[in-house]
Amino acid sequence: MSVDERERLVEATRALTYAVAVTDLPDEDLAAVSEAVDSLSRALRKQTRKRCVTESVTAVVESRPVVLDRYNPAMIPLEVRFPEDGTAAATVTLNAVHQGPTDSVHGGVSGLLMDNILGILVQSKGLLCVTGTLSLRYRALTPLDRPLELRAEIVDHSGRRVTVTGWIECGGVRTVEATGVFIEVPSR
Ligand SMILES: CCCCCCCC/C=C\CCCCCCCC(=O)SCCNC(=O)CCNC(=O)[C@H](O)C(C)(C)COP(=O)(O)OP(=O)(O)OC[C@H]1O[C@@H](n2cnc3c(N)ncnc32)[C@H](O)[C@@H]1OP(=O)(O)O
């Protein structure tokens, strides 16, 4: 499968996930749909790989911008920009698939987004790191269906520890603040 075809399949699958999450069809109409979806799964499983297609470390260091989780339909694709000031930035809109409290983003999903943008900023500097600690402060509910602005900046690098802060804003309101301590690991 060419990469473009894979991306098209992943996008279609995300659209399916959204449709499943919000469909209000009566139960009697769902059986046929389930049958069709099962049949698609069987078709795809005829040939599988062990792990998802992911971005290589080299691509993360060299390409600008980079799209995280482009090929994993269960994850949130994040196009990360790297402005001249050395930060990382991304814009994303979430929907009912990532719902937590009514009309708001699930807190764990906000944590995932923060881990990803803080982590990718560190990787983009050529520092191979894993997350050691991620702390989150939820200042306000993060809305669904509205563009969210994500940002990350490195505030300290001492020894193997890289400290990064970041946040999520919506309409100028900061809803989440994060601090991550990333630990450099030997290349594998
Ligand atoms: C393999 C690399 C992968 C790279 C992938 C690249 C692809 C790029 C594509 C896309 C990127 C997108 C971005 C992704 C973002 C998501 C990232 C994640 O979700 S990572 C998964 C969650 N994290 C874990 O599973 C860690 C599990 N923990 C460990 O592996 C170890 O505990 C580790 C490496 C963190 C530390 O273990 P030790 O044995 O190597 O080192 P010790 O001696 O314990 O510590 C070294 C120094 O770090 C400090 N340290 C250790 N843990 C700390 C912590 N949690 N907080 C603060 N400092 C800590 C220590 O105090 C020490 O400092 P002193 O050198 O003495 O000054």
Q: Which residue has the tokens 């994500």?
A: 150
Q: Which of 130, 133, 150 has the most ligand 1 atoms within 8 A of CB, as the residue to mutate?
A: 130
Q: What is the pTM of this model?
A: 0.94
Q: Which residues pair with 170 in a beta bridge?
A: 173
Q: Which of 183, 184, 185, 187 has the most ligand 1 atoms within 8 A of CB, as the residue to mutate?
A: 183
Q: What residue's CA is closest to ligand 1, atom 19?
A: 131
As for the ipTM of the complex, it is 0.91
pLDDT digits (tens, 9 = 90+) for 3-15: 789 999 999 999 9
Edge-to-edge, what's the strand order for the sheet holding 161-170? Answer: 66-68, 78-81, 88-92, 148-158, 161-170, 173-184, 129-138
Q: Is the dihedral of CA 123, 84, 71, 133 positive or negative?
A: positive
Atom of ligand 1 nearest to the CA of 129: 2
Q: How far is CA 37 from CA 18, 20, 23, 52, 180, in A?
A: 14, 11, 14, 20, 39
